[in-house]
Amino acid sequence: MSLKAENLSRKYGSGLLGRGKCIFRDVSFELEPGKTFGLMGPSGEGKSTLGRIISGLESPTDGAVFFNGNPLSRMKKAEYTTFRRKVQMMFQDPTDAFNPRKRIKHSIFEVLNLLEISGTERIRCTKEILKTTGLPEEVLLRYPSQLSGGQLQRLALGRILLLDPEYIVLDEPTSALDVSVQAQILHLLKNVQAEQGISYLLISHDEAVIRFMSDSCGELENGQMDLIEV
């Protein structure tokens, strides 16, 4: 498995009449198996846009993302489905990641239904995820508004892990959390990586978080990405 970005550029507002504004250009990097690549930089520099492009949620204006050597834009449907399962994204605000009108168990079972897992296997998978993320079973009956940000972020990670991903794009996973919960989530992410060999692309504006988590890192500023030593 490999995931690589080559010469990615992204422009906004580049219609027929406008020249558009270039957010970043010629950004290249590779996510190595079981390692973390940290991406930092100030707000508005396109870090999240780059994360969305790597996850296939947005297209680059130039350049390409290669999954197992194949560019995303030329993938067949079956290959693309595999890519979408193997490359997941975890968002900044966990409250937005769950349906506020459904209990947590519905949001978890939604993923299991997609994987056509039902009956006792469904209960086993759910219990395993709760064990990995260190949450009690009672959270399944709660609504998102009844849980703390840390609990929701753990559940968001647990739901992603159900899909057995190879890569996770972590878009500011702890910036909405307080310091003690932030430390817990960072350690949880490290443990999951050590156990399951998942690669992370960690996006954050907090240099301390990037340095704590990453094996290699880059800084996105003024439309360019510079690799920096950790």
Shortest separation between residue 204's beta carbon and another protein, angstroms: 10
| Identity of the residue, 123 or 141, whose beta carbon is nearer to another protein in the bound complex | 141
Shortest separation between residue 144's beta carbon and another protein, angstroms: 13
Q: Angle CA(162)–CA(163)–CA(167) in degrees, nearest 5? A: 115
Of the candidate spans 115-123, 147-155, 193-201, 217-225, the one that interacts with another protein by CB under 8 A turns out to be 147-155
Within a 10 A sphere around the Cβ of 54, how many other Cβ atoms? 27
Q: Of 62-121, which residues contact another protein (CB under 8 A)?
A: 92
**Surface-to-core class of residue 211, CB atoms within 10 Å of its CB (0-12 exposed, 13-18 middle, 19+ buried):** middle
| Identity of the residue, 62 or 178, whose beta carbon is nearer to another protein in the bound complex | 178
Using CA atoms, how far residue 152 sits from 28, 40, 88, 197, in Å, is 32, 24, 17, 23
| Identity of the residue, 85 or 122, whose beta carbon is nearer to another protein in the bound complex | 122
CB neighbour list of residue 215: distance below 8 Å, 6 or more residues apart: 32, 35, 36, 37, 230
Q: How many residues sit in the footprint of another protein (CB under 8 A)?
A: 29
| Identity of the residue, 111 or 177, whose beta carbon is nearer to another protein in the bound complex | 177
- Tell me, residue by residue from 155 to 194, as one string, x for binding to another protein by CB under 8 A and - for no binding: --------------------xxxxxxxxxx-xx-------
For another protein, the binding residue among 38, 51, 144, 150 (CB under 8 A) is 150
Instruction: Rule CB under 8 A: say whether 1 interacts with another protein.
Output: no
Shortest separation between residue 78's beta carbon and another protein, angstroms: 39
Instruction: Rule CB under 8 A: say whether 228 interacts with another protein.
Output: no
For another protein, the binding residue among 6, 212, 216, 221 (CB under 8 A) is 212
Q: Of 28-67, which residues contact another protein (CB under 8 A)?
A: 42-44
| Identity of the residue, 86 or 154, whose beta carbon is nearer to another protein in the bound complex | 154
Binding site for another protein (CB under 8 A): 42-44, 92, 134, 138, 141, 146, 148-151, 175-184, 186-187, 205-206, 208-209, 212
